[in-house]
Amino acid sequence: MGGIEIKVATGADVVALARLMAELGYPTSPGEMAARLERLSGREEYATFVADENGSLAGMIGLSLSPTLYRDDLDGAIVALVVSSNFRGRGIGGLLIDHGERWLYDRGARLVTVKPSARRDDAHRLYKRCGYEHTGLRFTKVLEGLGG
C-alpha cells in the first residue's frame, strides 16, 4: 500500500495515539498515553505499531503474547486496533492485522484472539474478512473496592 509505513510506536506518537484511543471510545490524554507506552516499553511480550501515512498517524495495533496452561504454544492477542476515521476504507486495518500476525507468529504464537466489543459491527466484518472466526463471547467485570 503506497505511502503507508508500519512502524513501532514511539513517544512522538502519543498525541495521535491518544486521539485514536478516543475514537475507539476510550478518552485518553497525551499524558496518559505517554505513561501507558512507558509502562509497556522494554516488555518483549507486548508491541504497539502505528500506520503512518506521510507523517500522519492513520491507525494503530497493540499486541500481546502469553503462555497458557492449555497449549504448548504462546497465545497471541490483538488488544487494541483502531484506524482513524479519516483513513477508513483503505485497507489500513488489514495491513495492521497482517503486520501484527507476523510479529506474533515470529515470536511463537500459533493462535491469535481478539475481543471486540459486541457493538463494533464494522470491526467484526474486518476480522471476518481477515479470517477470524467468531468462537464465543466474553464476560467482563470492573474490579472496584477489592482492596484490603
What string of DSSP letters covers 57-93?
EEEEEEEEEE--SS-SSEEEEEEEEEE-TTTTTSSHH
Tens of pLDDT along 32-65? 999 999 999 989 999 999 999 999 999 999 999 9
Tens of pLDDT along 15-31? 999 999 999 889 999 99
Residue 70 gets which letter from DSSP? S
Tens of pLDDT along 61-89? 999 999 999 989 999 999 999 999 999 88
CB 51 within 8 A of CB 59: yes
Domains of the chain: 4-129 (3.40.630.30)
Q: Which residue has the cell 472496584?
A: 144
